[in-house]
């Protein structure tokens, strides 16, 4: 490793944040995790739990030091609500890099009810803005790396390959001239959660332009897989495996259903095409981003952090083929296109040297070493998706016009 | 008037909200003002004050009833912070229309310092989202009218006529096909304040699409003028005239400077072109919007609420010609293009019957009946603009790259 950096990982206790913190610590960087432990209390409130047993923060950090002789600092701060404490930490750590995972990240949870909608907006927007405002106020200059989502692009514009953040368009003027512009890809979020990440883009755009902050926004696909090289080192370091209807992503839920003998529940026709990435590739991408800060040119660097696209139906078939399970087609609780095509550019990370793990090669390992191994911890009633996108009984609303 | 509607005016104590509430009350609608009185306490905090003497809310409302025999309800609620009280009010009033002015609306104030940046983002985003979330949760169906700003379009894309919200673009595919799309005009906000209105657009886009709310977003130019037919009826009904460096818009500041014999301070070359509208036309536009709710088609109706464009330099010359004042060119505290062209479509309101008051005809009246009449209330030290867009001393920031 070339240069040892001071790195703050906001949300470093979460599913992506934890393995990222370990990976960067292993690479020799000084890591400070900032977290409000929201994934833990949200689980408690929902009655859900990670399939894998998650140690307390103290035990996780002690295990890391025991295993590697490396230390990671931890600060229990809510970045959205404890601005002064967060600013004091920034002033003391003087980070070279801040990695921002500090947002409520489940689309179904963000649609669950009024409290969850409001929490997602208030937490995610204030957290992102507090970070930008604090950095500007202190006059420090960290490279800010943010976890965005492929969902900002939306999934219903078949035909156009999803570019990396910016789209080249031609605009006919009213005087017969034609103007070419590179614009932020017109956002089309499908949930309150995805909407907040679209709003984040405008926060980054403004602070990059006005204050010349250096910002990398990573539009990530759906993450699958549980373990990375570092989280495998000790069982106390194990990463989360969420399978409940709100936080469990589609592949985890299929794996869990297969193991407990539940039919694989596909929403609608399963024709929804989505982008995927393995958690090991997530941490690799973030390390690449850390080592490749953008130019200070007033523009946010946007990269797509995904490695392959599949339809939900094909995923279900892959999992069914590995197990003795049937596929069940159920009503879609989401408000989304039934079928869509998806082609995504991920040229930036491939050019930087990303060598992806494919679903085909990693699926069996995930099944055996996670889903089967911890199957007895499964809380079956948490499997169905119960958060719906719209109240079909709402007076005056003609659902078919959506 | 055809139909008497229940109308909630959020921010109905402010500069645009107050005359709007009176105008719609005069038209026979049932009006409930919701306000956190932020313009009053922000003035107190800054040591500023409206040039015109603003009565207390109680005296304003009593004067209205005394003058017209009409009643306006008032609820002291902070929509961003008192969600439950606001929801209870919505449930009780069952509004046909909610007009949302409840946002911090001064660009310089939003750039003044860290507290003002954070207040602007946290207040504006939470207020807008709380309104949308509460309406969805209650299952009520008011037409929501929001005051946006021309500033969401930005001012540095010369050549393209600013359309009403949506832009028709052509996108070259990677397979030689060309796709036409109507997209939200790519936003380019120039301050934290304008950024929040750009973020509001994404909130509206999502709730219109997902929950089929009927929303009208009015992108308003810079408002000039003080009085409307209704605010002139009694001095206790008088509207605000802000001339301080943060809340005073450019024309008010020139008028004030002329009256007190201060040179007219033009930022930079004064080549910035901006869109304007008289406050009387603002209330007329909102009444037109109230009477013309959009279709429930999943799409926000966006109209440009402005009537003419001028450069700041030309405005200064107009005011100087009316008075014995000189124009002084000073450093621009803002981070903006020095010169820009601006052509804006306002076809929707013209088609609905708007008959604009021009600056040329209204300027003399404004000077005599407001600036001269109340000149002795002027606090001279509040005139200069002291909020700067960037800290030029910031380490590591190469200002010229902006």
Q: Out of B20, B32, B120, B149, which one is annotated catalytic?
A: B149
Closest CA to A219 of A253, A247, A244, A184: A184
pLDDT confidence bin for B32, thresholds 50/70/90: very high
Going by the DSSP 8-state scheme, the letter that residue A12 receives in this structure is T
pLDDT at A285 over 50: yes
pLDDT confidence bin for A314, thresholds 50/70/90: very high
Closest CA to B222 of B194, B203, B198: B194
Residues of B within 8 A of A212 (CB-CB) are 397-399, 401-402
pLDDT digits (tens, 9 = 90+) for A102-113: 999 999 999 999
Q: What pLDDT is recorded for position B2?
A: 65
Integer Cα distance of B193 and B198 in angstroms = 9
CA–CA–CA angle B218, B304, B166 (5° rounding): 95
In B311-370, the residues whose Cβ lies within 8 Å of chain A are 335, 343
Residues of B within 8 A of A189 (CB-CB) are 202, 206
pLDDT digits (tens, 9 = 90+) for A235-266: 999 999 999 999 999 999 999 999 999 999 99
pLDDT digits (tens, 9 = 90+) for B170-183: 999 887 899 999 99
Question: Does residue B168 belong to the interface with chain A, where contact is any CB pair within 8 Å?
Answer: yes
Residues of B within 8 A of A124 (CB-CB) are none
Integer Cα distance of B302 and B230 in angstroms = 27
Task: Select the residue of B83, B171, B199 nearest A169 (Cβ to Cβ).
Answer: B171
pLDDT at A396 over 80: no
Helices B114-138 and B192-211: crossing angle in degrees, nearest 10, is 10
Question: Does residue A376 belong to the interface with chain B, where contact is any CB pair within 8 Å?
Answer: no
Using the beta-carbon criterion (under 8 Å), do B168 and A171 form an inter-chain contact? yes
Task: Report in angstroms the alpha-carbon separations of B321 from A70, A108, B211, B326, B373.
Answer: 73, 61, 53, 9, 19
Integer Cα distance of A260 and A371 in angstroms = 9
Using the beta-carbon criterion (under 8 Å), do B139 and A209 form an inter-chain contact? no
Most B-contacting residue of A94, A115, A129 (CB-CB within 10 A), to test interface = A129
Q: Out of A119, A153, A193, A374, which one is annotated catalytic?
A: A193
Integer Cα distance of B288 and B353 in angstroms = 8
Using the beta-carbon criterion (under 8 Å), do B211 and A296 form an inter-chain contact? no
pLDDT digits (tens, 9 = 90+) for B167-214: 999 999 887 899 999 999 999 999 999 999 999 999 999 999 999 999
Bridge pairing between strands A273-278 and A308-311: antiparallel
Question: Does residue A91 belong to the interface with chain B, where contact is any CB pair within 8 Å?
Answer: no
Integer Cα distance of B2 and B236 in angstroms = 30
Q: Which residues contact A5 (CB under 8 A, 6 or more apart)?
A: A29, A30, A95, A96, A97, A290
Residues of A within 8 A of B394 (CB-CB) are 136, 139, 211
Chain B's closest residue to A343, CA to CA, is B174
Using the beta-carbon criterion (under 8 Å), do B397 and A141 form an inter-chain contact? yes
Integer Cα distance of B180 and B299 in angstroms = 18
Bridge pairing between strands A178-184 and A273-278: unpaired
pLDDT at A157 over 50: yes
Contact B392, A212 (CB under 8 A): no
Closest CA to B242 of B229, B223, B228, B262: B223
pLDDT digits (tens, 9 = 90+) for A376-390: 999 999 998 888 998
pLDDT digits (tens, 9 = 90+) for B295-332: 999 999 999 999 999 999 999 999 998 888 999 999 99
Q: Which has more pLDDT, A401 or A186?
A: A186
From A301-305, B130-134, B219-223, B324-328, the region with the lowest mean pLDDT: B324-328
DSSP bridge partners of A32: A8, A73
Integer Cα distance of A153 and A163 in angstroms = 9
Percent of chain A predicted with pLDDT > 70? 96
Q: What pLDDT is recorded for position A284?
A: 98
Task: Select the residue of A126, A141, A390 nearest B395 (Cβ to Cβ).
Answer: A141
Integer Cα distance of B247 and B387 in angstroms = 11
Q: Out of B5, B197, B231, B307, which one is annotated catalytic?
A: B197
Question: What would the two tokens of residue A104 be?
Answer: 């409520």
Q: What is the DSSP string of B231-254?
A: GGG-GGGPPP---STTT--HHHHH
pLDDT digits (tens, 9 = 90+) for A188-207: 999 999 999 999 999 999 99
Query: In A15-113, where does DSSP find H-type helix?
Result: 17-26, 38-46, 57-68, 83-93, 107-110
Using the beta-carbon criterion (under 8 Å), do A186 and B181 form an inter-chain contact? yes
Residues of A within 8 A of B83 (CB-CB) are 118
Q: Which residues contact A288 (CB under 8 A, 6 or more apart)?
A: A349, A352, A353, A354
> pTM of the full predicted structure?
0.96
Q: What pLDDT is recorded for position A175?
A: 80
Sign of CA dihedral B249, B254, B259, B263: positive
Q: What is the interface size between A and B, counted as CB pairs within 8 Å?
A: 172
Beta strands in B136-272 (DSSP E): 143-149, 166-172, 178-184, 215-220, 222-224, 264-267
pLDDT digits (tens, 9 = 90+) for A331-388: 999 999 888 989 999 999 999 999 999 998 888 888 889 999 999 999 999 998 888 9
Using the beta-carbon criterion (under 8 Å), do B125 and A121 form an inter-chain contact? yes
Contact A305, A352 (CB under 8 A): no
pLDDT at A97 over 50: yes
Please tell me whether residue A321 adopts helix, strand or coil conformation.
helix
Integer Cα distance of B15 and B11 in angstroms = 9
Q: What pLDDT is recorded for position B155?
A: 84
Active site residue A149: yes
Mean pLDDT, chain A, rounded, equals: 93
Q: What pLDDT is recorded for position B368?
A: 85
pLDDT at A394 over 90: no
pLDDT at A392 over 80: no
Q: Which has more pLDDT, B160 or B127?
A: B127
H/E segment holding residue B46: helix B38-46
Size of chain A in residues = 402
Q: What pLDDT is recorded for position A2?
A: 64
pLDDT digits (tens, 9 = 90+) for A31-81: 999 999 999 999 999 999 999 999 999 999 999 999 999 999 999 999 999
Q: Based on DSSP, count helices (H) and strands (E) in chain B, helices before strands.
A: 12, 14
Active site residue B226: no
pLDDT at A399 over 80: no
Q: What pLDDT is recorded for position B392?
A: 52
Contact B224, B251 (CB under 8 A): yes
Residues of A within 8 A of B122 (CB-CB) are 122, 125-126, 129
Closest CA to B97 of B30, B49, B192, B48: B30
In A104-143, the residues whose Cβ lies within 8 Å of chain B are 113-114, 117-118, 121-122, 125-126, 129-130, 133-134, 136-137, 139, 141
pLDDT at A401 over 60: no
pLDDT confidence bin for A400, thresholds 50/70/90: very low
Closest CA to A344 of A154, A64, A80: A154
Q: Which has more pLDDT, B383 or A174?
A: B383
pLDDT at B1 over 80: no
Q: What pLDDT is recorded for position B135?
A: 98
pLDDT confidence bin for B65, thresholds 50/70/90: very high
Active site residue A367: no
Residues of B within 8 A of A392 (CB-CB) are none
Contact B364, B322 (CB under 8 A): yes
pLDDT at B84 over 90: yes
Question: Does residue A394 belong to the interface with chain B, where contact is any CB pair within 8 Å?
Answer: yes
């Amino acid at each position: 490793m070339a240069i040892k950096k001071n790195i703050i990982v906001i949300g470093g206790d979460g599913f992506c944040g934890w393995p990222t913190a370990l990976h960067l610590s292993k690479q020799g960087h000084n890591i400070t995790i900032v977290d409000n432990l929201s994934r833990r209390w949200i689980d408690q409130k929902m009655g859900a739990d990670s399939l894998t047993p998650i140690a307390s923060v103290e035990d996780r950090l002690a295990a890391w030091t025991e295993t590697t002789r490396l230390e990671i600092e931890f600060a229990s701060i809510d970045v959205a609500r404890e601005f002064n404490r967060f600013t004091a930490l920034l002033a003391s750590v003087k980070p070279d890099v801040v990695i921002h995972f500090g947002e409520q990240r489940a689309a179904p949870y963000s649609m669950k009810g009024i409290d969850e909608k409001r929490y997602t907006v208030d937490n995610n927007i204030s957290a992102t803005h507090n970070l930008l405002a604090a950095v500007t106020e202190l006059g420090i200059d960290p490279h800010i790396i943010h976890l965005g989502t492929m969902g900002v692009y939306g999934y219903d514009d078949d035909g156009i390959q999803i570019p990396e953040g910016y789209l080249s368009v031609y605009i006919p003027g009213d005087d017969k001239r034609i103007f070419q512009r590179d614009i932020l890809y017109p956002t089309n979020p499908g949930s309150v959660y995805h909407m907040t990440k679209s709003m984040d883009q405008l926060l980054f755009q403004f602070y990059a332009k006005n204050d010349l902050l250096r910002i990398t926004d990573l539009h990530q696909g759906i993450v699958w897989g549980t373990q990375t090289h570092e989280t495998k080192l000790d069982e106390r370091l194990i990463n989360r495996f969420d399978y409940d209807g709100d936080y469990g992503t589609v592949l985890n839920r299929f794996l869990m259903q297969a193991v407990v003998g539940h039919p694989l529940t596909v929403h609608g026709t399963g024709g929804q095409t989505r982008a995927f990435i393995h958690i090991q590739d997530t941490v690799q991408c973030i390390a690449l981003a850390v080592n490749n800060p953008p130019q200070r040119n007033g523009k946010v660097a946007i990269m797509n952090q995904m490695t392959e696209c599949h339809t939900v139906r094909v995923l279900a078939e892959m999992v069914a083929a590995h197990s003795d399970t049937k596929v069940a087609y159920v009503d879609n609780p989401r408000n989304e296109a039934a079928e869509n095509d998806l082609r995504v550019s991920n040229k930036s990370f491939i050019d930087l040297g990303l060598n992806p793990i494919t679903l085909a090669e990693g699926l069996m390992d995930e099944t055996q070493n996670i889903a089967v191994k911890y199957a007895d911890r499964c809380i079956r009633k948490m499997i169905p998706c119960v958060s719906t996108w719209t109240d079909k009984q709402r007076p005056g609303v003609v659902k078919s016009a959506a």
